[in-house]
Structure 1
Amino acid sequence: MSGRDRQRGRVYAWEDRVVAPHAPDLISFAAAQAMVDAIWAEMGLRWPPKVERLPCQASARQADATRLRLRLPEALPSWVLLHELAHCMTSTAEGGTDGHGPRFMGLYLQLLERYLRLPAASLLPSLQVARIAVDLAARPVFLDAPAP
């Protein structure tokens, strides 16, 4: 694990323990683009990422994301979609990313609260116990980019 993404393992363990039990519902690939578009717009963003199929050979991942693309399987839990959307919001078109860092966690927490109705106040103590840093004022990285 790189120093740049040192929270990754802790985030995955925290999700399995704290988030997954509250969101067992599955989202189909067919419904995903409309959901991504709606969430993106509700967050005040334009130009949502494109949903594509996760390659069959990507058996070790549930999904992956960049600023421009979300690669998803035939169905995935709603919390995984929100996790990947947080990656989209913390990545640049050039490939820069926060990994699972504080900005990612701040945006992910906002999405969990807004769309899964998991109150941040009840999640924060478990994040502290898991030693996961969170930027509660996080904004999508591309909103902070200087205008051309």
Structure 2
Amino acid sequence: MSRGDAGARRLYAWEDSEVAPRDTSRVPFAQLQALVDHVWAAEGLRFPPRLRPLPRQARATVARATRLAIEAPSMLPTWVLLHEVAHSMTSTAEGENDGHGPRFTGLYLQLLVRHARMPEAALAASLRAARIPFDPAARPVFLA
């Protein structure tokens, strides 16, 4: 999750106003893999991405993900980890991904509702108000 991604500024602003205030938890790196494994299994998926430390030179990046790996700092808010898990679910091993498009945002919304117990109706309404498209029936790209 790089704050410099121009195509994602509205989504990041939405997260800052709607998601971050609802979840102030922070998870240490040593526990992140267990959380990813739990979410992945709960979603009926196998072979979760592996956690790796975020390189020190990645100063403008909060975290980042591909289908195979999530790079994270020493401590990460739960909602940011779910954001990265949604990226893993919308990416292929070959590097194709949805960016912050409707499939990503729909999956991210589902993860926030199921795993962070956030209110679906309120979040969906706020996405619509922010004119951020999302697919409420989104599925991981490798299952679609």
TM-score category of the 2 structures, normalised to the smaller one: over 0.9
SS in 2 for 1:141: coil
Per the TM alignment, residue 6 of structure 1 is displaced from its structure 2 partner at its CA by 6.9
Distance (Å, rounded) in 2 between the aligned partners of 1:84 and 1:141: 14
SS in 2 for 1:71: strand
Radius of gyration: which is bigger? 1
Provide, for residues 37-56 of structure 1, a one-character-per-residue CA deviation record: whole Å limited to 9, x for no partner.
Answer: 11100000000000000000
* Segments ≥4 residues shifted beyond 2 Å: none
User: Does 2:20 match 1:11?
Assistant: no
Match for 1:49: what amino acid? P
TM-score, normalised via structure 1 length: 0.92
Provide, for residues 1-23 of structure 1, a one-character-per-residue CA deviation record: whole Å limited to 9, x for no partner.
Answer: xxxx8751110000001000111
State the percentage of identical aligned residues.
59
- The corresponding residue for 1:89 is 89
User: Does 2:100 match 1:100?
Assistant: yes
The CA RMSD measured in Å over matched residues stands at 1.1
SS in 2 for 1:142: coil
Provide, for residues 68-108 of structure 1, a one-character-per-residue CA deviation record: whole Å limited to 9, x for no partner.
Answer: 00000000111000000000000000000000000000100
- The corresponding residue for 1:73 is 73
- Structure 2 runs not aligned, ≥5 long: none
SS in 1 for 2:123: helix
SS in 2 for 1:121: helix
SS in 1 for 2:76: strand
Task: State how 1:101-120 maps to structure 2 within 5 Å.
Answer: 101-120=101-120
- The corresponding residue for 1:62 is 62
- The corresponding residue for 2:46 is 46
SS in 1 for 2:51: strand
